[in-house]
Amino acid sequence: MAISSLLKLCAGALLLGSTVGTTVQAKADAMPATTHLDSIVVGAGCFWGVEKRFEAMDGVADAVSGYADGTGVEPTYRAITQRRNQHNPNNHAEVVKISFNPAVISLTTLLQRYFEMHDPTQLNRQGNDIGTQYRSIILTNSQAQYDTAQQVLAAYQPLLTKAGYGAITTQIKPLREFFPAEQYHQDYIAKNPNGYCPDHSTGVRFASDNKLQTAAVDNSALLSGKHILVIDSESYCPYCEKFKADVGNSYSGDISLHYRYASQLQGLSISSPTWATPTIILLENGKEVFGRQGYLSPAEFYLLLGKFKLGDSEAFNVAFDEGTDGRFCQQYEIFKNTPDGVFTDKLSGAPLFDTRDRFDSGTGWLSFTKAVNGAVIEKPDNRYGMRRTEIRAKVSGIHLGHVFNDGPNGRPRYCINATVLDFVPRS
């Protein structure tokens, strides 16, 4: 199988949930019957991400993946991806037909976003997707559309040139016929919620404030110590939004998490490809020690973070292998008499237990009468011939210990491993 096809299959195992698939229909239904829609067909590499980005724009009623501009080649995915057609100038291009309301979004704006979402200076490719099917192309339905496309292209070229890019290779031609792609290609990203978006944008913008490129950032803080770097998308990426909602927004650990665009990695030593968003990279002293393309679930993220922060340690064994601290271990002796404050999840930083609920059970493990509200989850644990209730951190999912019904004055006793906790004094 061609490398580009493998990459597409990998990328396809990946963008946002099933509710997104209904968004486009809802947007179309909300438009009055008297609304006059126009349409244009564009190609900017793999049609999955292009379709999703246009569907997310206000004023776009629908975006349909398909094939166009070929001759002598069957307009099917199987035919256009055959090796003999990879460099065939008569091959169909992967394109998207965009139906839009000109009263809400102009064709000029639509085409500006089109040029910004890919690299139009690459010929017959976008990143690792190589072949004529990935060519940059605009197919118009009228002379007016053709003239507008030429004007937008002409306006974008000097911006790219100033940023160090070459000549635009985008073809602008009248549309002969559009062939919708197979059903499994439609809303592909919405049907495959765990993956990444291919992002080949240059970072050069049609900006009203004349900021032609994404602003540079100071990465000096990332050159010392351990950091988590997430490569974000400069345009709409549902996998990025899903990662932020599921992981990033609730993370407050002491290994800092940073978001950067691929154009903002100056001074860092990154070995992973940076065109997939999100890409999660673990840095130490500014150098990548591990990289993973695509969406990570909370469980995957915290397992990765656990390896990065804890290494081969008792704390990792407790957190992920449901181990148990030794009685009266060193960390217990440190934590049993702390000042007033809160014990937090060693990985996520989320508050778990309060010193005001701590008591000395004499067991050799930290004991509390309750957890911070909403901070933990309980699970049945019937291992080793015992019937117990396991306690896990809600945010990270790591194993914390067990809860028993023999606490003081009839209250529970949360028996918690000290090695998976950090302590924050109350301010």
Active site residues: 46
Rounded-to-integer distance, Cα 404 and Cα 412, Å: 6
Closest listed residue to residue 291, CA positions, set 313, 312, 269: 269
Burial class of residue 422, CB neighbours in 10 A (0-12, 13-18, 19+): middle
Three-state secondary structure call for residue 178: strand
Maximum Cα–Cα distance across the chain: 85
Helix (H, G, I), strand (E, B) or coil at 94: strand
Q: What is the spatial distance between Cα 116 and Cα 337, in angstroms, rounded to a whole number?
A: 57
Contact assessment for residue 352 and residue 375, using Cβ atoms and an 8 Å cutoff: yes
Q: Which residue's structure tokens are 């809600």? A: 394
Residue with tokens 């985008």: 170
Q: From its phi and psi, is residue 210 left (phi > 0), alpha (psi between -120 and 50) or beta?
A: left
Those residues whose C-beta lies under 8 Å from the C-beta of residue 292, and which sit 6 or more positions away, are 272, 279, 280, 281, 304
